[in-house]
């Protein structure tokens, strides 16, 4: 059983972490159900804006994704001793899920995104990379959803 005092002490960091996780989750979900299907249906080379141009997803994810991971680590380190072992285990699983999501997103941004920006790429290359993006981003969506569960479910006691 989690004490009321622990719930109060962790509230600010938990709320911030939940907001960041939701932002990350819904951003990836949007990509999964809106942006990627459009790209699969019409794979246009050079269709993604430049890395630092207006509308670039870089501004959405940087620095928010790393800050989310840091906030999760801060919650675990700062309050890990104050919560029951079952909560610590959930937080550890949440950190693992976030690590997977972050690693996959880094791979996508560094390896797949450049193909979408390349005006000299073929439509087939763009389509093939959109398929990679769809499956990999699906892993990110599930990872962030799992982390969101792990870091919030314990508060409903």
CA distance 77 to 56: 33
- Tokens 């962790």 found at: 10
pLDDT (0 to 100) of residue 131: 97
* Complete DSSP assignment for 25-90: HHHHHHIIIIIHHHHHHS--TT-SPPTTSTT-THHHHTTHHHHHHHHHHHHHHHHGGGS-HHHHHH
- What is the rounded average pLDDT of the residues 74-103? 95
Q: Sorting pLDDT into bands at 50, 70 and 90, what band is 156? A: confident
- Tokens for 151, please give them: 């870091």
- Tokens 């997103």 found at: 105
| Three-state SS sequence of 99-141 | HHHHHHHHHHHHHHHHHHHCCCCCHHHHHHHHHHHHHHHHHHH
pLDDT (0 to 100) of residue 1: 65
Smallest CA-to-CA distance from 13 within 82, 102, 86 is with 82
pLDDT (0 to 100) of residue 59: 76
Q: What is the pLDDT of residues 33-74, one digit of tens each?
A: 999 999 999 999 998 888 888 777 777 777 888 899 999 999
Q: Sorting pLDDT into bands at 50, 70 and 90, what band is 157? A: low
């Amino acid at each position: 059983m989690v004490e009321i005092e622990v719930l109060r002490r962790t509230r600010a960091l938990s709320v911030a972490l939940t907001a960041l996780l939701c932002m990350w989750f819904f951003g990836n979900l949007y990509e999964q159900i809106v942006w990627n299907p459009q790209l699969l249906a019409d794979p246009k080379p050079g269709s993604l804006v430049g890395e630092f141009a207006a509308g670039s997803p870089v501004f959405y994810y940087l620095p928010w994704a790393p800050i989310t991971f840091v906030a999760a680590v801060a919650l675990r380190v700062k309050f890990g001793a104050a919560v029951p072992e079952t909560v610590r285990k959930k937080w550890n699983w949440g950190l693992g899920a976030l690590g997977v999501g972050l690693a996959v997103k880094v791979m996508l941004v560094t390896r797949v995104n450049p193909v979408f920006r390349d005006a000299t790429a073929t439509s087939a290359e763009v389509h093939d990379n959109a398929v990679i993006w769809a499956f990999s981003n699906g892993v990110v969506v599930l990872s962030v959803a799992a982390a969101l569960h792990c870091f919030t479910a314990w508060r409903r006691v």
